[in-house]
Structure 1
Amino acid sequence: MNNLNTICVFCGSSSGNDLKITEAAKRLGEIFASRKITLVYGAAKIGVMGTLAKSVLDNKGEVIGIIPNFLKKKEVVHLGLTELITTENMHERKLKMQEASDGFIALPGGMGTLEELFEIITWLQLGLHQKPIGLLNVNGFYDDLINLLENMVQRGFLSIDNYHLLLVDSKPELLLQKMEEFKRPDLPKWLSEDKA
């Protein structure tokens, strides 16, 4: 069982137009607070990000925001967090998010969310961390992405083992259960031989 005391959530700085996504962000925040899971996220007060952080805080949970200095504008950054960490750039931000977290969840979002999700999966694939990564597939939002990953497996660009590194569910409680039960993968053969 994995101890998930701190989870980093990647999600949109826009709210989108599907109320089920907003509801899912609120529900995830409630669950985090009730389970004493600290939220790590991108520190914005807007969009899905802001909804999630507000939900955790409203339910007396803890929230750590990590934001690069150039994004730290008054209308964007959430100043009511448990802790706010400012980084020099996006690369340092993602490294600090990884170091501060026991696991990762992607809610719906845009390009930035996908970029963060795929970088953290790649780091797991390369053995740079061994933390569970979950995809909360709210209202079928990520169905096309899952189909693309399956196509990558079928065409020989993604191994079935690496495909299974991404844990998927439409219900936050079940996704967290999968993350708790996640078995850390062995290092890739070429990496483990190099370290021997």
Structure 2
Amino acid sequence: MSGPAFSLCVYCGSRPGAQPAFAEAARAVGRWIGERGGQLVYGGGRNGLMGLVADSTLQAGGRVVGVIPKALVEKEWAHHGCSELHVVDTMHERKRLMAEHADAFLALPGGIGTFEEFFEVWTWRQLGYHDKPVGLLNVDGYYDGLMAFLRTGVQAQFMGDWQMDLIRVSPDARALLPELVQSAGLAPAPRLDAI
């Protein structure tokens, strides 16, 4: 049995969010991964967008690797239906393991944990700790304010345009997902409806 065609690390909220578009996007990302023989790497939770993306990946035939700290397992937040569920001691260990298992990274809408994970892998990319693609799915304008703030950072000369060029931002999962996988040097499995 061969391994997955690609492995995408997805950061997203442990809550569903206020807009139905957020849940729809999480399901669409999971389906896209699963239908193309891919693997989801994520934080191992069963709640919110995290649970939706994992369930959708599994239902579409993909593999799911969850990485969760022991403290969250004890709160009964772990998704025990994962293909692999790694229980770790610390958040640092969680993020390192997720990054090691990923070919590319994608942030969906989420809260402070999602922001922190997105910024960390972006920072690692700019420092040369990895050269894996980093994407931001701007569902329903959720990240518009963040993108405006980041442009302020460039204008104030605390950041450069080259740093902004290290991330790929799109409101359209169907456009962004293949771009991330292909930029990682991998090709998602072809679909007859795409010919």
1:17 and 2:29 are equivalent in the alignment: no
How far off is 1:4 after superposition? 6.7
Q: Distance in 2 between matches of 1:44 and 1:180?
A: 24
Equivalence for 1:132: 133
Does the 8 Å CA contact 1:4/1:180 hold for their aligned counterparts? Answer: no
Structure 2 residue matching 1:168: 3-state secondary structure: strand
1:148 and 2:144 are equivalent in the alignment: no
Q: Distance in 2 between matches of 1:142 and 1:157?
A: 20
Could you tell me the percent identity over the aligned residues? 43
The 5 A counterparts of 1:1-196 are: 5-73=6-74, 75-182=76-183
AA at the equivalent of 1:30: R
How far off is 1:43 after superposition? 0.5
Equivalence for 1:189: none
Structure 2 residue matching 1:7: 3-state secondary structure: strand
Return 5+ residue gaps in structure 1 as ranges: 185-196
How far off is 1:59 after superposition? 1.4
How far off is 1:177 after superposition? 3.1
Does the 8 Å CA contact 2:11/2:106 hold for their aligned counterparts? Answer: yes
Does the 8 Å CA contact 2:104/2:181 hold for their aligned counterparts? Answer: no
How far off is 1:182 after superposition? 3.7
How far off is 1:75 after superposition? 3.1
Structure 1 residue matching 2:87: 3-state secondary structure: strand
Runs of 4+ that moved beyond 4 A: none
Aligned-residue RMSD, C-alpha: 1.6
- TM-score, reference length from structure 1: 0.89
How far off is 1:53 after superposition? 0.5
AA at the equivalent of 2:98: M
How far off is 1:153 after superposition? 0.7
Per-residue CA distance 1:100-142 (angstroms, 9 max, x = gap): 0000000000000000000010000100000000000000000
- TM-score, reference length from structure 2: 0.89
Does the 8 Å CA contact 2:104/2:184 hold for their aligned counterparts? Answer: no
For these two proteins, the number of residue pairs brought into alignment is 182
Per-residue CA distance 1:16-41 (angstroms, 9 max, x = gap): 11100100111111100111110000
How far off is 1:181 after superposition? 4.9
Return 5+ residue gaps in structure 2 as ranges: 186-195
Q: Distance in 1 between matches of 2:9 and 2:105?
A: 5
